[in-house]
């Protein structure tokens, strides 16, 4: 397990509970701390208290979708620079304003590699 000074927290914003669980298990197993929210509105509650090291963001969600959340995030000085990776079922990921974008179904190896680049543990 990582020393507490090196812990990196990833906020997973995803409405599909199975996808959230798989991502949580994968990333926790690689040494990351995990927080989850089922939509952008719930993520706002979490972000009032904590600044994560990285955000994994689904685009298609109820209540507050990923694009709405991303616009809000970029307007917040404390959160605008937090690396954000978008996940989407859409085939058009080129117009997404994020540090990286992945089409679902996810390539977990490529996703993990990108996360490690944007949010290194060591």
pLDDT at 6: 64
Q: Where do the H-state alpha helices sit in the chain?
A: 17-29, 40-47, 66-74, 108-118
pLDDT average, residue stretch 88-112: 89
Would you say residue 4 has pLDDT above 60? no
Locate tokens 């809000």: which residue? 72
pLDDT at 115: 98
Q: Which two tokens stand for residue 70?
A: 């991303």
Report the percentage of the chain scoring pLDDT > 70: 95
Q: List, in order of start, the domains of the chain with CATH numbers.
A: 7-118 (3.40.50.2300)
User: 112: closest CA among 52, 56, 53, 36?
Assistant: 56
pLDDT at 97: 87
Would you say residue 118 has pLDDT above 90? yes
pLDDT average, residue stretch 98-107: 94
pLDDT tens profile 11-52: 999 999 999 999 999 999 999 999 999 999 999 999 999 999
């Amino acid at each position: 397990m990582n020393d507490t000074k090196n812990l990196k927290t990833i906020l997973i914003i995803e409405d599909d509970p199975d996808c959230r669980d798989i991502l949580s298990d994968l990333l926790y197993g690689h040494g990351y701390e995990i927080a989850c929210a089922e939509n952008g509105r719930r993520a706002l509650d979490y972000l009032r208290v904590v600044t994560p090291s990285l955000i994994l963001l689904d685009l298609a969600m109820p209540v507050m979708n990923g694009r709405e959340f991303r616009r809000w995030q970029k307007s917040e000085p404390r959160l605008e620079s937090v690396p954000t990776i978008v996940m989407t079922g859409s085939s058009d990921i080129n117009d997404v304003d994020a540090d990286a974008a992945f089409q679902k179904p996810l390539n977990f190896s490529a996703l993990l590699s990108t996360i490690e680049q944007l949010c290194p543990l060591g």
